[in-house]
Amino acid sequence: MFSLTIVFSVQQEWINAYIQLVMMYIGINIILSSSLNIVNGYMGEFSCGHAGFVAVGAYVTSVLNVWLFVSDRVFGPSVVSGNYALFLFPVTLLIGGLAAAFVGLLVAIPSFNTRGDYLAIITLAVNYIVKSAIENIQIIGGARGFMGMRKVVNAMHDLWDIPWMMIFTLAFTGLTVWVIWRFVSSTYGKGIIAVREDEVAAEIMSVNTQRMKVTAFMLSSGLAGVAGGLFAHVLGYINPGSFTIMKSTEVMVMVYLGGMGSLSGSVLSAILFTILLELLRPLQVFKWVVIPLMLILLMMFRPEGIMGDREIKDIFRKKS
């Protein structure tokens, strides 16, 4: 219902372009924050390289779309008609996610034997390796970046002129939240919480901890990849510099702000954080002094974040 209202408003141009953009960023950030929460919150690891998976999804989806649906300097004429862009966009988005999920394996497998600080290093290294690798692939622009996504979005509008990116963003944000909620509500998914609380006990009490870790990491990085694909098409241009450890840190800020192990917390903090970033924009570079400062205060006075590990429905249940 809510989504339809938004889409309708955008179509009628009641909401201006800037706010549209912010709303789409909110959606993307929700996906980023909640996907990282799977690994850092529910499973209690310290993954510092989330931006690497975002990059994989962004590039895979973008390259596929530009190659298939539009004519481009690098790839030549489009392989299929631009009309298919609209229908196949979810498909390429998911392919990007899948690619990111596989890169997630690079972190998942070491996590069998390594924990804590050592795994953090591995996640950092993977983030860096992905960024470096992209910089070295000249066909897709290397360090200069890659574009052409705007043409893809235009191709969608050519078919039916409604705000597609908004629709897709809303749809996939909702999908992400739903998928994660289904996962952690099930006894199967709760296995990752057992891994966090006491991995040894979990393994001995019949939880296949290796399979849980692989599932959690792949789900987390896969969803991050989807966010990346959306990000690429909302912006129209991507370059490796957007996917550094700075970006990973931003996502971590959202997760810890919201509360580790709280899905509603991640959603709330993503909304708050995105809005905050926009509000603080006039401060320019001071923005990045104020935000860390706020997080430090948070760590001192309310380290569990906004929601701790509770969900919104828990709070309302207790009140009644």
Sites of contact with other proteins (CB under 8 A): 46, 110, 113-114, 117-118, 120-122, 124-126, 128-129, 132-133, 135-136, 142-143, 179, 182-183, 186-191, 193-194, 196-198, 200-210, 215, 245, 249, 252, 256, 261, 284-286, 288-289, 291-293, 295-296, 299-300, 303, 309
Q: Which is nearer to other proteins, 83 or 249 (CB)?
A: 249
Minimum CB separation of residue 191 from other proteins in Å reads 6
Q: Which is nearer to other proteins, 8 or 178 (CB)?
A: 178
Residue 238 forms beta bridges with which residues?
A: 146
Q: Which is nearer to other proteins, 117 or 161 (CB)?
A: 117
Q: Return the half-sphere exposure (C-beta side, CA atoms, 13 A cut-off) of residue 311.
A: 11
Q: Which is nearer to other proteins, 14 or 144 (CB)?
A: 144
Q: Which is nearer to other proteins, 19 or 296 (CB)?
A: 296
SS3 state at 170: helix
Instruction: Report d(CA 220, CA 174) in Å as an integer.
Output: 15
Q: Which is nearer to other proteins, 157 or 314 (CB)?
A: 314
Minimum CB separation of residue 35 from other proteins in Å reads 15
- Region of residue 274 (phi > 0: left; psi between -120 and 50: alpha; otherwise: beta): alpha
Per DSSP, 146 falls in state: E
Q: Which is nearer to other proteins, 132 or 154 (CB)?
A: 132
Which residue, chain included where needed, has tokens 């498909």? Answer: 91
Minimum CB separation of residue 172 from other proteins in Å reads 15
| Beta-carbon count within 10 A of 53 CB | 40
Tokens of 196: 């966090």
- Region of residue 222 (phi > 0: left; psi between -120 and 50: alpha; otherwise: beta): alpha
Render the burial of 217-231: b for 16+ CB within 10 Å, e for the rest.
Answer: bbbbbbbbbbbbbbb
Minimum CB separation of residue 86 from other proteins in Å reads 25
Minimum CB separation of residue 140 from other proteins in Å reads 14
Minimum CB separation of residue 7 from other proteins in Å reads 25
Instruction: Report d(CA 84, CA 316) in Å as an integer.
Output: 45
Tokens of 127: 């983030």
SS3 state at 90: helix
User: CA nearest 209: which of 274, 115, 103?
Assistant: 115
Minimum CB separation of residue 25 from other proteins in Å reads 20
